[in-house]
Structure 1
Amino acid sequence: MPSQRTEFGPVDPPLDCPACPRLVALREELVEAHPDWHNAPVPTFGASAPRLLVIGLAPGMKGANCTGRPFTGDYAGDLLYKTMIDYGFASGTYQARPDDGLELVDAMITNAVRCLPPQNKPTGPEIKTCRPYLLATLAANPSIRAVLALGRIAHETFLTALGQRRAAFPFAHCAEHKLPGTELTLFDSYHCSRYNTNTGRLTEEMFRSVFDKIRTHIP
């Protein structure tokens, strides 16, 4: 199915997107090594008319790059989807595969960068190149009222995409930012990666505290 188009262009990049040479090279390597994996830009996943948009950094190698669904197949998805189910933003059972029947409710999930970057670290130009897809996603879903940024890069690229001053809205876990000139409120969380949870930087209770705020904002 072709990607939905908006004034900013398509919502999702084509599966053979050639825009970032470094990411294309890695994708081609992985096609050779793992031909049964998704190995392509990962499309946005979500319900129609969502009020919550969750933004991650980029697909994980054995997560979304493998399965083709955001946050599916790695630990970050285990915590994210469990929490979203608990707060009514998802229904079904998360089984770490795209055919598990899990559905999002009033929510949508995407990434700042749609392709797997080497060492999970996209470059500034790669983030900028992918930014129009984030803008297109917002344009195609005017029902969005809350945005959850998972990590500083997602936070900063979202602010830049909207033309907001980063200095006016510093990233901090559990921070809440009403963005002037929009109907959007930006919520921040440390990324729900295994590294952050293993080191204690992010606990399940800390993550749930962010969703407490979001659920108050979106009854």
Structure 2
Amino acid sequence: MTRTGPAEPAQPPPRSLAELDTRVSECRACPRLVEWRERVAREKRAAFRDETYWGRPVPGFGPPDARLLIVGLAPAAHGANRTGRMFTGDRSGDVLYAAMHAVGLASQPTATAIDDGLELVGTRITSPVHCAPPENKPTPAERDRCRSWLESELHLLAPTVRAVVVLGGFGWQALMPVLAGAGWDVPRPRPRFGHGAQVTLAPIAPDLPELTVFGCFHVSQQNTFTGRLTPAMVEDVLARAADAAGVSRSR
């Protein structure tokens, strides 16, 4: 029988991002998401019928001393749910990684497979929901159940992270209460999401850095195919965030 349970069992917090990533990839907390991600991995898309899908929660990706964090929405059913790496193997990733490469945050402009040699420069990518949801729409309960992973990730990145880029309103709404709970002073009412939005949060908890949060429309086809979001717009936000974070970008 398949067992589901809390996202974070009664055990000590992860001591490293590597340990966190392992725990994330083993999570079975949300029955609807478990059923969907595994069914997609079995049935596959015709173009990928000869591939073995990841079919599990997708952990964050990037160096453990990242100064910039990018927060998306959730893995794509035939993208990260197939490849096992954030924004890898889908059209959204094509836009994101091309922009990251253009501003010196990625070693190459494409992301096709987990072993394609891609490396990120001073940047880590994560999401508030780690399983592919039906119709790309996680429920509020699923978002909240996944929250402990994002909290742990921020705690582990706190020594180095200085800026966050949030892709889309869902990620923005999910992140703000996590930041408040993690020890940053989030204003009331909470800052509103918008493309190009920028807010600097002062720390409340000791030993936390000042954190600058940037908003960017999500790199989904709904935005990029309609022209609502252009490559230049993504590059502009990423470059400003990288500068705020003090990332030494490659050229």
5 Å-filtered alignment, 1:63-142, equals 63-92=79-108, 94-142=110-158
Question: In the alignment, is residue 199 of structure 1 matched against residue 226 of structure 2?
Answer: yes
In the alignment, which residue of structure 2 is the partner of 1:19?
29
CA deviation digits over 1:118-162, x for unaligned, max 9? 100000010011111111111111201010000001111110112
- Identity %, equivalent residues: 41
Task: Give the structure with the higher percent strand.
Answer: 1
CA distance change for structure 1 residues 207 and 14 in 2, over 3 Å: closer, same or farther? closer
Equivalent of 1:29 in 39, 43, 54: 39
Gaps of 5+ in 2: 1-12, 45-50, 181-185, 204-208, 247-251
Q: C-alpha separation between the residues in 1 aligned to 2:169 and 2:68?
A: 18
In the alignment, which residue of structure 1 is the partner of 2:197?
175
In the alignment, which residue of structure 2 is the partner of 1:161?
178
Aligned partners of 1:93 and 1:101 also within 8 Å: no
Equivalent of 1:150 in 164, 167, 187: 167
TM-score (norm 2): 0.79
Q: C-alpha separation between the residues in 2 aligned to 1:42 and 1:75?
A: 17
> Structure 2 counterpart of 1:205, which letter?
A
> Structure 2 counterpart of 1:155, which letter?
W
In the alignment, which residue of structure 2 is the partner of 1:210?
237
CA distance change for structure 1 residues 126 and 190 in 2, over 3 Å: closer, same or farther? same
Instruction: Tell me the matched-pair count.
Output: 214
Question: In the alignment, is residue 48 of structure 1 matched against residue 57 of structure 2?
Answer: no
CA distance change for structure 1 residues 28 and 169 in 2, over 3 Å: closer, same or farther? same
The secondary structure found in structure 2 opposite 1:90 is coil
Q: C-alpha separation between the residues in 2 aligned to 1:40 and 1:199?
A: 31
Question: How far apart are residue 15 of structure 1 and its match?
Answer: 3.2
In the alignment, which residue of structure 1 is the partner of 2:77?
61
Question: How far apart are residue 93 of structure 1 and its match?
Answer: 5.1
CA distance change for structure 1 residues 31 and 78 in 2, over 3 Å: closer, same or farther? closer
Gaps of 5+ in 1: none
Aligned partners of 2:176 and 2:190 also within 8 Å: no
CA distance change for structure 1 residues 218 and 161 in 2, over 3 Å: closer, same or farther? closer
User: After the TM superposition, which parts of structure 1 deviate over 6 Å for at least 4 consecutive aligned residues?
Assistant: none
CA distance change for structure 1 residues 99 and 47 in 2, over 3 Å: closer, same or farther? same
In our comparison, the structure showing a higher alpha carbon Rg is 2
Q: C-alpha separation between the residues in 1 aligned to 2:123 and 2:188?
A: 25
The RMSD of aligned alpha carbons is 1.9
Q: C-alpha separation between the residues in 2 aligned to 1:90 and 1:53?
A: 13
Question: How far apart are residue 14 of structure 1 and its match?
Answer: 4.2
> Structure 1 counterpart of 2:105, which letter?
F
